[in-house]
Amino acid sequence: MCFTMKTSCVRRRFREFVWLRQRLQSNALLIQLPELPSKNLFFNMNNQQHVDQRRQGLEEFLRKILQNALLLSDSRLHLFLQSHLSSEDIEACVSGQTRYSVAEAIHKFASSNRRFPEEDDEGGKKDNSIEYGSESSSSGLGHSCKDSSPHGCKTNPTLQES
């Protein structure tokens, strides 16, 4: 399987990266996976230095993962980077327990116009994500996301080279 989109921007929480690393490690026992940035008990989302350090650590983790051909064959990695499916939905999709395939889930995400929830007039979240058959998650940390594109994501040229 190859990446179907030239660029991709998804929002993931730190615990989702932990989940991804565990799944990749269980499928590639002989490969030493890179470590995630250490979990800081005093992490503060309002401290830009904390956020930048964690983001850089997660980007470095992904950069190293994407350099390994064996890991690139894992459908979980593709869904993690190219859809907003939750870890539970990714597992269900990979194991064939959904009405859509891995390729269909990625294609639906790529062809959707709105990729992140938008604020409604009352200040609450309005889910504009595509229908995967169950609720998806799109909050937290992940790639470099700023308000510089229509979907709130800034492309990172170093990640695009992978």
**Total-model pTM:** 0.68
Query: pLDDT tens digits, residue range 108-151?
Result: 887 774 444 443 444 444 443 434 333 333 333 233 333 333 33
- SS3 of residue 7 by DSSP: coil
Round to whole Å and give the CA distance between 134 and 145.
Answer: 25
Query: pLDDT tens digits, residue range 41-95?
Result: 788 888 898 899 999 999 999 999 999 989 999 999 999 999 999 999 999 999 9
Task: Out of 29-33, 102-106, 136-140, pick the least confident.
Answer: 136-140
